[in-house]
Structure 1
Amino acid sequence: MSEQIEGRNAVLEAFRSGKCVDKLFILDGCQDGPVRTIAREARKKDTIINYVAKERLDQLSETGAHQGVIAQVAAYEYASVEDILAKAREKGEDPFIFILDNIEDPHNLGAIIRTANLAGAHGVIIPKRRAVGLTSTVAKTSAGALNYTPVAKVTNLGHTIDELKEQGMWFVCADMGGETMYNLNLTGPIGVVIGNEGEGVSRLIREKCDFVASIPMKGDIDSLNASVAAGVLGYEIVRQRLQKK
């Protein structure tokens, strides 16, 4: 599936045919009928709309004929959070979910989905805003894992964590100021929260976590790449689950 759709008719058709549009870019100040119709369709579908300068559209454009609108379409269908929980129930396992707090690099997202699949996680949850969606680069980096690991996109990560807590889940985030991960009991229904590449886990999300786990660091720099941190902490959960069995 094409990752980017340009031009008014093509973008309107994408919305009307039910394609999952991650982001819509509209020329700032453009208020004519067709563009208003596209914006209305986008709001119906709860798509994020960015009003941008012509230079930004020209920069994004692959065809040079964007007519003031560019839609970025998900390369894969999104699942729901309920689909992820259903997968855990089907397998008769405690839910094990990766929650990504504003991961922006598609290579990191793809690598985390690949790790989640191999670690036996039931799915990945990402936020709608300020984060990369399921682009074709993500699909490629996941090395096929996207076909098996459901990814849900939610409007509010904090609310989603609260709802999952009500269903008995615990949450652990990777952060340097925490308790060494080997000293924590990470068995049972768990969500692993991985923060943004530059800023880590946001304060609001960190405060919702039951555990803050630090990964022991022996080197001269102070942090791991987000997808590596997801792998290290994810596999400590795998180890504890296997030991418990």
Structure 2
Amino acid sequence: MAKPYQRPDVIKTSKKGAAKGSGGQRRRGLEGKKATPKAEDRVYHSAHKKKLERQRRDSGRHEKDKADLVVGRNPVVECLHAKVPAEALYVAQGTAHDDRLSEAVALANAKGLPVQEIPRRDLDNMTGNGMHQGIGLKIQPYKYADVFDLMAGVRDRAQTGMFVVLDNITDPRNLGAVIRSTAAFGGHGVIIPERRSAQVTGVAWRTSAGTAARLPVAKAVNITRTIKEFKDNGYMVVGLDAGGEHTLDTFEGATDPVVIVVGSEGKGISRLVRENCDVIMSIPTEGWVESLNASVAAGVVLSEFARQRRVAALKD
């Protein structure tokens, strides 16, 4: 007897095949589910963005509190001579000795600093590279002053204040040089922005030749607002920029309380800061010289202002 026709795309299952059931779907449905992730752990939730921002701020505070490390034999010796506040001297194991390394160790011992010999790998990790010449000096975090305390201190001492405000200065060597010039010519402090600015690190300490230990440096959250506070307290704000209505040869207001604003060699003074200056002053130079380095310009102006103050004092 012929078999009945069966479509090739239909598979006939035997009654003795797999038992009927849900395929485990009901059992899985009865299983307990995992805990719902916290809102801050869900990448699409606004709380997650707030968590990341909080972590970034906390990381920034940690970086501010972290001690600086000056590396290289000459820089370390220079910092020790400049009496930079340090915590320890690190020397990598197996480092070849020379006169500079011996001098650094002798200076550290004379100052009572602990000298620690550590594996070279550890010093590599601390510096982020191997360009340390086998030596590193741990610098204490700089303690910044408060702008209002500086103004109050000058007023209480009945002095004629002279401050330097730095705008867009990102090179710590320029910062250190400005600190040194401000101290040398009778200034009362340097103010830097809290963000996007060079900080008082080991490089700035070294360039300042130790004057950062005696001349206060303050941080300002908003430079424009700080300048307005100086003006409200009777200070004249002088911005250094090319093409100013005054030159150093014609300006004679240095005997009054004054704030000197110095911008970077490339960007100069930012627009809002410039608009809040009482005077924009340029420094006369040879025509073929395009501009002066920021720290050099600050030193030239500070020297002239100090001269005007000495002349006025002799007349009195």
In structure 1, the residue matched to 2:243 is 177
Shift of 1:63: 4.4
C-alpha distance in 2, partners of 1:115/1:44? 30
Shift of 1:197: 2.7
Instruction: Write the letter of the residue equivalent to 1:204.
Output: L
CA gap 1:63/1:216 in 2 versus in 1, 3 angstroms: closer
CA gap 1:41/1:173 in 2 versus in 1, 3 angstroms: same
CA gap 1:43/1:224 in 2 versus in 1, 3 angstroms: closer
C-alpha distance in 1, partners of 2:268/2:54? 38
- TM-align CA RMSD: 2.8
Q: If each structure's strand is expressed as a fraction of its own residues, which one has the higher value?
A: 1
Instruction: Write the letter of the residue equivalent to 2:265.
Output: E
- Per-residue CA distance 1:129-155 (angstroms, 9 max, x = gap): 211111110011100110111101111
C-alpha distance in 2, partners of 1:37/1:243? 54
Higher RCO, 1 vs 2 (CA within 8 Å, ≥6 residues apart): 1
Instruction: Write the letter of the residue equivalent to 1:190.
Output: V
C-alpha distance in 1, partners of 2:259/2:234? 11
> 134, 155, 167: which one pairs with 1:89?
155
The reply to whether residue 204 of structure 1 matches residue 272 of structure 2 is: yes
The reply to whether residue 226 of structure 1 matches residue 294 of structure 2 is: yes
C-alpha distance in 1, partners of 2:160/2:307? 15
CA contact (8 A) 2:168 2:267 kept: no
In structure 2, the residue matched to 1:41 is 58
Secondary structure of the 1:125 match is strand
Secondary structure of the 1:126 match is strand
The reply to whether residue 151 of structure 1 matches residue 151 of structure 2 is: no
Give the unaligned 5+ runs of structure 2: 1-47, 65-124, 130-138
Shift of 1:198: 1.1
What TM-score, normalized by structure 1, do the two folds share? 0.71
Shift of 1:218: 1.2
Give the length in aligned residue pairs: 193
CA gap 1:222/1:90 in 2 versus in 1, 3 angstroms: same
> 103, 127, 131: which one pairs with 1:62?
127
C-alpha distance in 1, partners of 2:272/2:54? 36
Shift of 1:163: 1.1
C-alpha distance in 2, partners of 1:118/1:144? 12
What TM-score, normalized by structure 2, do the two folds share? 0.56
Instruction: Write the letter of the residue equivalent to 1:196.
Output: S
In structure 1, the residue matched to 2:234 is 168
Give the unaligned 5+ runs of structure 1: 1-30, 48-59, 65-72
Instruction: Write the letter of the residue equivalent to 2:194.
Output: K
- Per-residue CA distance 1:166-203 (angstroms, 9 max, x = gap): 11111001111111122112221100000013111112
